[in-house]
Amino acid sequence: MIKENVQAILNELPAGVQLVGAAKTRSHEEIQQAIEAGLQIVGENYVQEAENAFEVIGNRVKWHMIGHLQSNKANKAVKIFDMIETVDSVKLARAIDNASGNIGKTMPILIEINSGEERQKAGALPSEAAFMIREIMAFKNIRVMGLMTMGPFAGDPEEARPYFHKTKALFDEVQAMHMAGVEMTYLSMGMSNSYKVALEEGANIVRIGTRLFGERGK
Ligand SMILES: *Cc1c(COP(=O)(O)O)cnc(C)c1O
């Protein structure tokens, strides 16, 4: 089933759109099945879970951090991940910069945007993002490569559309600033129930779990 799901989504995605398989709670066997079907990027929410999976699967795929990263886990994270999609503070960026420098790596990052401006949610407020990127661009060992957003959870994906739209507008705005060392390339938006809307709004990375692996927690 996982194989068919992965192949169906890969066939459906337009050229130039990257699929991140959101792997939280999935077994290594399930992740491996997805990889055999063509999945090239695995998304992990927790460093520990990523370490365990990385040990088994290694670097025949790319690894994206898509969960909230604590600064004190930056040392471990930079060893595994090829991209950290969830940078939402200068403090975290600094920790990633230091950790990357220590191992001679330049870490691609996305800035996570709290597009719904929800109090309890991670992410930079849209109004703060450009200012934050201006500070982060000075760090030598990280490269800002785009934006990521979750958007408010909604039953109807159409309810997510304005937040995806807003994040794309912010993406274009930052891109037009042509900040040195900032390459606005990736816009990561959309999950199982919302990726179609996200694609219409300009996403070029979609993060999909349930539609590949089935419902969680069964
Ligand atoms: C779990 C998760 C996804 C995928 O969610 P599904 O609804 O299972 O497709 C995408 N992004 C993030 C950050 C996640 O934690």
pLDDT at 168: 98
pLDDT at 6: 98
**DSSP H or E run through 211:** helix 210-213
Task: Please write the tens of the pLDDT for every residue from 131-190.
Answer: 999 999 999 999 999 999 999 877 899 999 999 999 999 999 999 999 988 999 999 999
Query: How far apart are alpha carbons 24 and 70 in whole angstroms?
Result: 17
pLDDT at 115 over 60: yes
How many angstroms does the Cα of residue 169 sit away from the middle of ligand 1?
23
pLDDT at 201: 98
Task: Please write the tens of the pLDDT for every residue from 52-104.
Answer: 999 999 999 999 999 999 999 999 999 999 999 999 999 999 999 999 999 99
Q: Which of 9, 46, 66 to mutate to test the pocket of ligand 1 (most atoms within 8 A of CB)?
A: 66
pLDDT at 154: 75
Under 8 Å between Cβ of 81 and 69: no
pLDDT at 217: 77
- Answer whether 110 contacts ligand 1 (Cβ < 6 A): no
Query: How far apart are alpha carbons 142 and 145 in whole angstroms?
Result: 9
Q: Please report, in angstroms and rounded to a whole number, the separation of the first and last CA atoms in the chain.
A: 15
pLDDT at 155: 84
Query: How far apart are alpha carbons 164 and 200 in whole angstroms?
Result: 9
- Calculate mean pLDDT across residues 94-122: 97
Query: How far apart are alpha carbons 138 and 27 in whole angstroms?
Result: 39
pLDDT confidence band for 202 (50 / 70 / 90): very high
pLDDT confidence band for 43 (50 / 70 / 90): very high
Q: Which of 20, 164, 207 to mutate to test the pocket of ligand 1 (most atoms within 8 A of CB)?
A: 207
pLDDT at 3 over 60: yes
Q: What's the token pair of residue 52?
A: 């365990």
Listed residue (197, 116, 114, 195) closest to 152, CA to CA: 116
How many angstroms does the Cα of residue 164 sit away from the middle of ligand 1?
15
pLDDT confidence band for 218 (50 / 70 / 90): low
- Coil, strand, or helix at residue 71? helix
pLDDT confidence band for 216 (50 / 70 / 90): confident
- Calculate mean pLDDT across residues 110-125: 95
pLDDT at 153: 78
What are the chain's domains?
Answer: 2-212 (3.20.20.10)
